[in-house]
Amino acid sequence: METKVPVRTTLLKQSSLAPDRERKEAELNGLDDDGEEIKPEFRLMYLANERDVEGIKELLDSGIDVNFRDIDNRTALHVAACQGFTEVVSLLLERGADVDPKDRWGSTPLGDAIYYKNHEVIKLLEKHGAKPLMAPMHVKHAREVPEYEIDPHELDFTNSVEITKGTFILGFWRGIQVAVKKLGEEVISDDDRVRAFRDELALLQKIRHPNVVQFLGAVTQSSPMMIVTEYLPKGDLRAFLKRKGALKPSTAVRFALDIARGMNYLHENKPVPIIHRDLEPSNILRDDSGNLKVADFGVSKLLTVKEDRPLTCQETSCKCCCLSEYFI
């Protein structure tokens, strides 16, 4: 009897790590190139691509292996994760699908879901224990791990609350409260965001001043990547001004001096100045003693000063309060 060569399931969306993802969609009619009916195992992958939950149930009930792999070592879970079919992913996992199988290029269902930005599938896979292959800043040798690296298992987010909308959350690290900035799963496949994260770390490592929020460390060797800073429980200046109203002259002067000292420290950074570019009351935090600290350097920039040309708006944020920062 002639042995049939394993079939490649050339579906609409291919592995996130495949060298060629621009393949045309195959006709999903259950037939191979010779017009013969394909094996039930391959039909499982076709049905996963077509979101046919009932058809998948029937195949699995008939004894088909939920972890069947095609010639590229891809499974039905890979296919469903690529397409973003949450209900198909859920069914396959309930029926015993391996959560982290690697295809021939090393991609997992979670890796594919991250690449195609299927956020609900990402959450579902992570709930079942799926782990990203590695963070974009991962290093191969232990001696290359940055000194600021924090073990994510030391961070406790029990009863965590959001400090600033969509940015920082409250956590505990080695018994102290900290503010943690998490980078979402979309960052892993976005080189610009990873570069911005790396630049932000480069800035934070340089900063040591009583009027600037203190950087404590970061998580860069696993995902999600995070920045950990001191937590200032008294909140930001914006909320304080809204609650208190007009300030006494002495308080206004004290606040102005705190901000000026922090900003002057940044501007005097060597070898190049640090420009905040987003200085506003919501980015000025109060410590336990009521002193102010400059915070949130997400859009900061190391400014190389060139005396032979003026700064342009493309290099600045063009907010009036920030323009003055460039010409102090």
Q: Which of 52, 70, 112, 278 is catalytic?
A: 278
Place of tokens 């209900």: 87
Q: Residue 302 in 3-state DSSP?
A: strand
SS3 assignment, position 271: coil
CB atoms within 10 A of CB 130: 21
Residue 58: other Cβ atoms inside 10 A: 13
**Cα–Cα distance measured from residue 12 to residue 82, given in angstroms and rounded to the nearest whole number:** 9
- The full DSSP string for 113-138 is HHHTT-HHHHHHHHHTT---S--TT-
What single-letter amino acid sits at 21? Answer: R
Report the alpha-carbon distance of residue 45 to residue 299 in Å, rounded.
Answer: 44
DSSP 154: G
Whether 114 contacts 223, CB under 8 Å = no
Task: Kindly tell me the number of DSSP H helices and DSSP E strands found in the chain.
Answer: 10, 10
Asked if 233 and 265 count as a contact pair (C-beta separation under 8 A), the reply is: no
Strands 155-156 and 168-173, by their bridges, are antiparallel
Structure tokens at 259: 């901000």
Provide DSSP, 205-250: HH---TTBPPEEEEE-SSSS-EEEEE--TT-BHHHHHHHH-SPPHH
Q: Decide if 236 is catalytic.
A: no
The residues annotated as belonging to the active site are 278
